[in-house]
Amino acid sequence: MWIYTTRRLGLAIVIVSVAMAMLFFMIYLVPGDPASIALGPRATPEMKLALRAKMGLDQPVPIQFFNFYVNVLQGDLGVDVWSNRSVTVIVMESLPYTLMLTMVGLGWAILLGVPMGCYSAIRRNTWLDKISGVLSVSAIAVPSFIVALYCLLIFAVYLKVLPAIGAGEQGDYWDQFTHLILPSFAIGLGWVGYLARLVRASMLEVMGENYIRTARAYGLSERTIIYRYALKLAILPTVALLGVGVGNLLSGAVFAEIVFARPGIGKLVYDAVITRNYPVVMGAVLVTTVLFVLCTLLADILAAWLDPRVRATL
Amino acid sequence: MSAQLSDALLSATDIRRREGFLGQVRRFRRDPLGVLGLALVTVIVLAAVFADVISPYAPAAIDVKIRLAAPSLDHLLGTDQLGRDVFTRVLYGGRIALEVASLCISVSLGIGLALGMLAGYGPRWLDNGVILVCDAVRSFPTIMFALAVVTLVGPSLETIELIIIIATIPGYARIVRTQTLSLKTNEFILAERARGAGGIPVLAIHVMPKVIGPLLILGSMDVPVVVTIEAGLSFLGLGVRPPTPSWGSILNDGYAFIRNTPWLVIAGGVPLILTTLGFTFLGEALRDIIDPKLRKV
Amino acid sequence: MDVVLSIRDLTVDFATPRGMVHALREVSLDVPRNKIVGIVGESGCGKSTLIGAAMGLLANNAVVRGGRALFEDRDVLTMSDSELRAIRGQRISMVFQDPMTSLNPVLSIAQLMTDIQYRDRASSPARKLARAVDMLRQVGIPDPEQRIDHYPFQFSGGMRQRIAIAMALLMNPSLLIADEPTTALDVTLEAQIIHLLRELHGKLQTTVLFVSHNLGLIAELCDEVVVMYAGEVVEHGPVRALFHDARHPYTRALLECDPARIAKSNRELPTIPGEVPNLIQLPAGCVFHPRCSRAFEPCPVRPPQPVAVGAGHAARCYLLSHD
């Protein structure tokens, strides 16, 4: 088990390093340098020089990358050129909101998607199955920001049953909860569809296996068969995919935060993009990428561990 | 059990092999979602192609007196905050969406094909390098990556197209690489090479037919994804530059004025929904008929 | 005579897109208590359908056209789901053909064996586990206390089949159905399993219904034999009588084709000419007549009825009514 984990971890670190390098060197593919870009077209040469020195751009490129790499490992993502605050601090302030949104979104996906898939498999080829099949495909196809916009339109602007803006009062859990409902639903809907289809396919495959026939021959109740025997196995491929789900949902979270004017990484990055504030953008992208890779890694390891056959061979 | 025996008699591969093209068309006709998808796609493509013929106004024609009007016979989908006819803008927005999709996917397919063959056929270090870079690109959440590039380069339609191409190449390259790798050690290829035939052309001739089918299907299933990315980034104001209409920019306007009128949001969103649904239904139906093994789910 | 399982004139069809498959036609057989009855026949002869019917485990597209399957005098085919669940695994249990895929891979043997004891609400989990361990010991699994916590993939095929037998006999059922339990095992393991079955039959007094396509096994293990062909019982009777004096041409052909019984060595292996009939469109008359070397006028007209040839020995063949 440990060898497997270490290998995967090592691979993940390599990939993240390459990604970091790409983010870093992208700056040099662009005409001009980050200082000029940040300051805009009205900058004077003196301002540019000062900013360049501040950003460490006067040093040779490989040294810059090396410094950058070392800094990142120590948790230092640079400094925001405008506010002079540490990028790490800025990003970490916004991250919890986004994580919360993503997790609740994933929660929706699991709570709705898994039972839907399970039920579709049990009631195969009935109207229920066919309708839920169409709904699943549709949920996957429709972009999450459209769902967000329409939820906003219908539930917040017209029906006025749910709040439209922000994350709610600090400390007031119910308020925060109601503010979470629409945006998390918007980003989770796509994965409801995806999980429903995956669980259905998995369950159908498992239900056709011989050990299910054996369980029936022993008179085990249908309930036991579905939950203990079938679902337990059918769930395994789903767990591995949840890691990818987080990455997917993070992208959706960016839009949801902007549409619902919630604080979070999405809003942070959007504002930074508008002001060409690359250090903040790079810091946020790096953090979300690392999160994505980490989640995928954890999900893979969890999936491997849950299956005793794989667990033994590791 | 006898039931399994009769199932085995009717195994799907048997049927498909006896079918041929006409048989596949017949099966397609029996898939209601597929037919619906084809209908939607046809309507959208025709609307985009004939946008200048169908649309009653010019997409940038401003008439501030009638701003934010509700739909009427004059303006089928109402007007936006500058008095421009939304119906016209939606039609032209379709052009943008489909142009971006066709350009990006074709370029991406081409580069992915080349890269995949190179990685599969070339030396180990090249293969490892390509895979590493591909995995690194895929480890970025796409929108984040797009935002990073836009920060540096500035927003424009060309930037978006570049981002989409870079983000979608790894997917295609992988498939081609896998197929190339498995063919590399194929005895037939080895025999050809022993005869002195050059490596790459031989490989190309044999790899291409195998990968063309899956690639085309995956490409067509990527259309909704590409359209979504373009619309999403335009929605954020980071895509097409005004006054060029894009469904995303119409949605942006709609969002800003959502408390004044719902029609902008509806007008921008519905065509997007129809496009993504249409291409997805069509793509799935095609995939189920031509090669169900591509089903990841 | 106390009969545990009595199948009477059972006719089962399967609805398929290609047409109605006539899997079983007026099949009758009796399994007397404490005996070992064997069913022998080629693939597709309907033996799996028959035992499926005996447990009420037919596929969804099965249509029972007539007949009864009486288990301890109750018709299994008319029982409700809950009644069936009450007897499965408890009064009547089954050992399947393929030990590699019959056991749930993500549950330990302990979990599997305690699960099937779920109806026993009086015993504690420890008691159920102890019962399971004891059963494993009886089937010859070494060190059962340790190994019961292992997963199926950690056992070999032969071991798994023993475990399957242990599971089947755990609740001391009246009837054990063994569906080709040794087909997937090699010959040495096969002999061990047969030996084990005979031993347990003696010890626990369990009635056994043994399905196989291997005549040698049937001869070795069973007291009575039922020969099936294309969905019908063509002959049945006590093992000695049937093997020494087979009356149905198909049975005789089977015996002749068994490599173990060939007296004179020859270059060619004997086979039965022709093919198994299409179960959707059956030939008129006797189902075997197209392949029968002794077919004559009445054969293609109407299927023959069973004719007795000795004590408990009968066959469906017009040749018998002639002699």
- Summarised one tens digit per residue, pLDDT across range A266-283 is 888 888 888 878 888 888
C-alpha A146/C-alpha A10 separation (Å) is: 38
Which pLDDT band, with edges at 50, 70 and 90, does A54 fall under?
low
Task: Give the closest residue to A255 by CA, choosing from C93, C58, B237.
Answer: B237
Categorise residue C12: left if φ over 0, alpha if ψ from -120 to 50, beta otherwise. beta
Which pLDDT band, with edges at 50, 70 and 90, does A42 fall under?
low
C-alpha C55/C-alpha C5 separation (Å) is: 10
With beta carbons under 8 A apart, name residues in chain B contacting C23.
Answer: 2
C-alpha C108/C-alpha C126 separation (Å) is: 16
| pLDDT, tens digit (0-9, with 9 covering 90-100), for B247-277 | 999 999 889 888 888 888 888 899 999 999 9
254-273 in A: which are within 8 Å (CB) of B? 254-255, 258-259, 269-270, 272-273
Average pLDDT over residues C131-136: 92
Is residue B6 less than 8 Å (CB to CB) from chain C?
yes
pLDDT of residue C270: 76
pLDDT of residue B118: 85
pLDDT of residue B2: 40
Q: Residue B16 pLDDT more than 70?
A: no
User: Per the CB < 8 Å rule, is B228 touching A278?
Assistant: no
Peptide bond into B243 cis (omega under 30): yes
With beta carbons under 8 A apart, name residues in chain C contacting B5.
Answer: 44
17-56 in B: which are within 8 Å (CB) of A? 33
- How crowded is residue C2: how many other Cβ atoms within 10 Å of its Cβ? 8
With beta carbons under 8 A apart, name residues in chain B contacting C21.
Answer: 2, 6
> Buried b / exposed e across A5-24, counting CB within 10 Å, b at 16+?
beebeeebeebbebbbebbb
Under 8 Å CB pairs connecting chains A and C tally to 75
Phi, psi of C24 (to 5 degrees): -130, 135
User: Per the CB < 8 Å rule, is A143 touching B231?
Assistant: yes
Q: Residue C262 pLDDT more than 90?
A: no
Run of H or E residues at A170: none
Distance from CA of C47 to the nearest CA of A (A): 16
Phi, psi of C296 (to 5 degrees): -140, -165
Is residue B108 less than 8 Å (CB to CB) from chain A?
no
Is the whole model's pTM more than 0.90, yes or no? no
Query: For residue C14, what is the nearest residue in chain B, using CA coordinates?
Result: B3
Query: For residue B222, what is the nearest residue in chain A, using CA coordinates?
Result: A141
The total number of residues written for chain A in this structure: 314
Mean pLDDT of all residues belonging to chain C: 87
Reading the block at residue A187, the tokens are 């980003």
| pLDDT, tens digit (0-9, with 9 covering 90-100), for C148-176 | 999 998 998 889 999 999 999 988 899 99
User: Per the CB < 8 Å rule, is A232 touching C94?
Assistant: no
Decide the pairing of beta strands C232-238 and C313-315.
antiparallel
pLDDT of residue B4: 45
Q: Which residues of C touch B (CB under 8 A)?
A: 14, 16-18, 21, 23, 44, 46, 48-49, 52, 59, 61-62, 279
| pLDDT, tens digit (0-9, with 9 covering 90-100), for A71-110 | 777 777 777 767 778 888 888 888 888 988 998 999 989 9
Higher pLDDT, C199 or A41: C199
Distance from CA of A141 to the nearest CA of C (A): 34
Decide the pairing of beta strands C207-212 and C175-179.
parallel
Lowest mean pLDDT across A87-91, A150-154, B122-126, C262-266: C262-266
Lowest mean pLDDT across A31-45, A62-76, A148-162, C9-23: A31-45
With beta carbons under 8 A apart, name residues in chain C contacting A220.
Answer: 85, 89, 115-116, 118
Instruction: Name, in order, each residue with C-beta under 8 angstroms of A32's C-beta and a sequence gap of 6 or more.
Output: none
Asked whether B164 and A41 are in contact (CB, 8 A), the reply is: no
pLDDT of residue B10: 40
Helices (DSSP H) in chain C: which residue ranges? 47-55, 81-87, 109-115, 125-138, 144-147, 157-169, 187-204, 215-221, 239-244, 249-257, 318-322
pLDDT of residue B273: 93
C-alpha A249/C-alpha A292 separation (Å) is: 10
Distance from CA of B1 to the nearest CA of C (A): 5
Reading the block at residue B293, the tokens are 């093994």
Most confident of A174-178, A233-237, A255-259, C1-5: A255-259
Q: Residue A47 pLDDT more than 80?
A: no
Handedness of CA C47, C53, C55, C57 (dihedral sign): positive
Mean pLDDT of all residues belonging to chain B: 81
Task: Give the closest residue to C13 by CA, choosing from B6, B61, A71, A258.
Answer: B6
Asked whether A189 and A252 are in contact (CB, 8 A), the reply is: no
Residue showing tokens 């029609």: B263
| pLDDT, tens digit (0-9, with 9 covering 90-100), for C226-244 | 999 988 999 999 999 888 8
With beta carbons under 8 A apart, name residues in chain A contacting B269.
Answer: 146, 149-150
Q: Residue A302 pLDDT more than 80?
A: yes
Which pLDDT band, with edges at 50, 70 and 90, does B41 fall under?
very high
Of A37, A201, A269, the CB nearest to B147: A269
Please report how the helices B124-139 and A278-306 are oriented relative to each other, as an axis angle in degrees rounded to 10: 110
Higher pLDDT, A283 or C263: A283
Query: For residue B4, what is the nearest residue in chain C, using CA coordinates?
Result: C59
| pLDDT, tens digit (0-9, with 9 covering 90-100), for B62-117 | 877 777 878 887 778 888 888 888 888 888 899 989 999 999 999 999 999 889 88
pLDDT of residue A112: 92
Lowest mean pLDDT across A20-24, A168-172, A228-232, C129-133: A168-172
Instruction: Name, in order, each residue with C-beta under 8 angstroms of C284's C-beta and a sequence gap of 6 or more.
Output: C300, C301, C302
With beta carbons under 8 A apart, name residues in chain B contacting C14.
Answer: 2-3, 6
Q: DSSP code of A100?
A: H
pLDDT of residue B5: 40
Q: Residue A262 pLDDT more than 60?
A: yes
- Chain A adjacent subunits, 3+ CB pairs under 8 A: B, C
Q: What is the percent of chain B where pLDDT is above 90?
A: 23
Distance from CA of C293 to the nearest CA of B (A): 28
Q: Residue B14 pLDDT more than 60?
A: no
Tell me the DSSP string of B155-219.
--HHHHHHHHHHHHHHHHHHHHHHHHHHHHT-HHHHHHHHTT--HHHHHHHHHHHHHHHHHHHHH
What is the distance, to the nearest Å, from the Cα of residue B222 to the centroid of all Cα atoms in its chain?
3
